[in-house]
């Protein structure tokens, strides 16, 4: 696709200097830790080490989610593609290493040359992704190291007449939003798109509570390390002095909200200072920092979400080994 070389998209997306990224992190830590229920935004879990730990999570026997997602894409790539027009441009929100996406892109690129925009805040995820697709001559990859919507807007701005976009939002990342915020976000995605563009949405389905708890509190402690790494990151990047051994990984399932909640619990009363955020916090014993919510869905609710956000749900594929769904929506 030679025309693509001429495009004026920075490979790294709208670049941000390291100092302004650090400043934003310092600000976010300040505002999260000064709330009555302290919290830290889950996007900050994914620095280089956090991304590696998340990759390890996807290999855990207890975390069936990632394998279910990949199984569905592998098994149904052909069926998914039958719903999609030729001359597709693919943009993926949170591509990670691109491993699961490979199945779909392989099937798509057998029909047509393909442009693929992986969008991820993790530079290391994007470089893995580049390696994953390096050997696939029919895929032109343009990585965008930025937030989902900013990346999506940059990708869509390259649209030429006759091209249709497919947005991938896999791995149940949509579950990290509170339900109303998820709809608002999907509406914003819809606003970036034109009628006839599509969205493939991966969502984890409700399942027995024991199974869900184990998936987020694995006996090896990888998820605990993933969670605690957020404090380690504050120490590394913001000069914090969290003593990691004095915090523990806490997981519960809220049946009313239908979500896994991850927190970090202070095991004793302690003070922590974070110079770059100009903050000193005192934690009570048992006090928690909220780090991530992972909402679980049912099939009907996903179809309803499509309706509420300006899409038409055209098909759903479900994995029965680990209840998980891929839903294909077309922009109305
Ligand atoms: C990457 C957001 C989909 O919610 O299951 C995995 C993140 N956190 N284990 C999820 C996660 C702890 C994961 N997502």
Question: What's the pLDDT tens digit per position in 106-127?
Answer: 999 999 889 999 999 888 889 9
Average pLDDT over residues 194-211: 98
Distances (CA, A) of 274 to 24, 40, 321: 14, 14, 44
In short, whether 240's Cβ falls inside 6 Å of ligand 1 is no
Quote the pLDDT of residue 2.
35
Average pLDDT over residues 234-250: 98
Report which secondary-structure segment, H or E, holds 281. strand 279-283
CA-nearest residue, atom 4 of ligand 1: 294
Token pair for 252: 């519960």
* 3 state SS of 263: strand
Read off the pTM: 0.93
In short, whether 250's Cβ falls inside 6 Å of ligand 1 is no
In short, whether 158's Cβ falls inside 6 Å of ligand 1 is no
Q: Which of 103-112, 166-175, 291-300, 314-323 has the lowest mean pLDDT?
A: 103-112
Quote the pLDDT of residue 6.
34
| pLDDT tens per residue across span 139-183 | 999 999 999 999 999 999 999 999 999 999 999 999 999 999 999
In short, whether 214's Cβ falls inside 6 Å of ligand 1 is no
Does the structure show a pLDDT above 70 at 244?
yes
CB of 327 closer than 8 Å to CB of 300: no
Query: What whole-number percentage of the chain has pLDDT above 90?
Result: 89
* Residue written as token pair 């896999």: 170
Quote the pLDDT of residue 323.
98
In short, whether 218's Cβ falls inside 6 Å of ligand 1 is no
Distance 173 CA to ligand 1 centre (A): 7
CA dihedral for 74, 53, 288, 121, sign (positive or negative): negative
Q: Which of 121, 253, 294, 297 to mutate to test the pocket of ligand 1 (most atoms within 8 A of CB)?
A: 294
Does the structure show a pLDDT above 90 at 14?
no
| pLDDT tens per residue across span 264-275 | 999 999 999 999
Token pair for 75: 């098994």
Query: What whole-number percentage of the chain has pLDDT above 70?
Result: 95
Stronger pLDDT, 13 or 234, i.e. the higher one: 234
| pLDDT tens per residue across span 57-86 | 999 999 999 999 999 999 999 999 999 998
Q: Give per-residue burial for 66-91: e unless 16+ CB within 10 Å, then b.
A: bbbbbbbbeebbeebbeebeeebbbb
Tally of CB atoms within 10 A around 59: 10
Does the structure show a pLDDT above 60 at 96?
yes
Quote the pLDDT of residue 15.
57
pLDDT band at 3 (very low <50, low <70, confident <90, very high): very low
CB of 149 closer than 8 Å to CB of 189: yes
In short, whether 251's Cβ falls inside 6 Å of ligand 1 is no
Quote the pLDDT of residue 19.
87
Mean pLDDT of the chain: 94
Quote the pLDDT of residue 9.
47
Quote the pLDDT of residue 223.
99
Measured CA to CA, the distance from residue 194 to residue 150 in angstroms comes to 17
Token pair for 214: 């184990």
């Amino acid at each position: 696709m030679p025309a693509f070389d001429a495009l004026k998209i920075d490979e790294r997306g709208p670049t941000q200097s390291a100092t302004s990224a650090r400043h934003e992190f310092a600000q976010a830590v300040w505002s999260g830790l000064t709330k009555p229920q302290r919290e830290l935004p889950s996007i900050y879990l994914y620095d280089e080490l956090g991304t590696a730990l998340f990759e390890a999570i996807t290999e855990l026997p207890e975390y069936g989610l990632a394998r279910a997602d990949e199984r569905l894409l592998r098994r149904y790539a052909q069926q998914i593609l039958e719903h999609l027009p030729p001359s597709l441009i693919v943009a993926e929100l949170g591509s990670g290493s691109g491993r699961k996406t490979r199945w779909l892109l392989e099937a798509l690129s057998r029909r047509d040359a393909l442009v693929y925009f992986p969008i991820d805040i993790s530079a290391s995820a994007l470089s893995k992704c580049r390696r994953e697709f390096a050997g696939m001559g029919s895929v032109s990859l343009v990585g965008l190291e930025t937030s989902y919507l900013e990346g999506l807007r940059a990708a869509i701005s390259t649209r030429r007449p006759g091209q249709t976009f497919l947005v991938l939002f896999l791995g149940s990342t949509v579950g990290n939003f509170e339900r109303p915020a998820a709809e608002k976000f999907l509406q914003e995605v819809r606003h970036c798109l034109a009628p006839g563009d599509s969205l493939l949405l991966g969502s984890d389905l409700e399942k027995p509570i024991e199974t869900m708890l184990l998936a987020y509190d694995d006996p090896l402690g990888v998820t605990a390390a993933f969670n605690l790494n957020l404090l380690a990151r504050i120490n590394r990047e913001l000069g914090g002095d969290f003593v990691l051994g004095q915090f523990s990984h806490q997981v519960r399932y809220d049946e009313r909200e239908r979500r896994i909640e991850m927190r970090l619990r202070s095991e004793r009363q302690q003070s922590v200072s974070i110079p770059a955020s100009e903050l000193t916090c005192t934690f009570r014993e048992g006090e928690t920092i909220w780090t991530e919510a992972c909402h679980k869905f049912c099939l009907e609710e996903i179809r309803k979400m499509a309706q509420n956000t300006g899409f038409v749900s055209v098909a759903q594929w479900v994995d029965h080994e680990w209840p998980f769904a891929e839903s294909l929506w077309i922009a109305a």
